[in-house]
Amino acid sequence: MKAFFEGIQSLFVDFLFLPMNFLRELELTTWFGANIINWIFVIICTTAMVYWVKQLQLHKSNNEDYQDTTAHSFFK
C-alpha cells in the first residue's frame, strides 16, 4: 500500500508539477514571463466578453431580444 501512495507522489512531484516548478523558477528572473499564461487568459476572456456584448447589441437592435418580466405564467 505504501508503494501505491509513493507512486502517486512520484507522478505528481516528478511529472505533473514540472511546469509549475519551471514557472516558479522563471518568476525569479522575469515577472512577465512567469505570468504569460495569466495574460493569455485575460486576453481570451476580454475578447470573449467584447464578442458577447456585441452579439447582445446586435440582437437588441434587430428586435430579436424578447424580454418578458414574468418568467412563468403562475407569477402573474
> What's the structural domain count of the chain?
1
Judge whether 34 lies within some domain.
Answer: yes
- CA–CA separation, 43 and 37 (whole Å): 10
User: Is residue 55 assigned to a domain?
Assistant: yes
Residue 49 lies in a domain: yes
∠33-40-35 over CA atoms, to 5°? Answer: 30
User: Is the C-alpha dihedral spanning 27, 29, 33, 39 positive or negative?
Assistant: positive
pLDDT for 25: 86
Would you give per-residue pLDDT tens digits along the chain (76 residues)? Answer: 999 999 999 999 999 999 888 888 888 888 888 888 889 999 999 999 999 999 999 988 888 767 666 666 666 5
pTM over 0.75: no
Which range of residues forms the domain containing residue 45? Answer: 2-64
Domain-located, residue 76? no
Residue 72 domain-assigned?
no
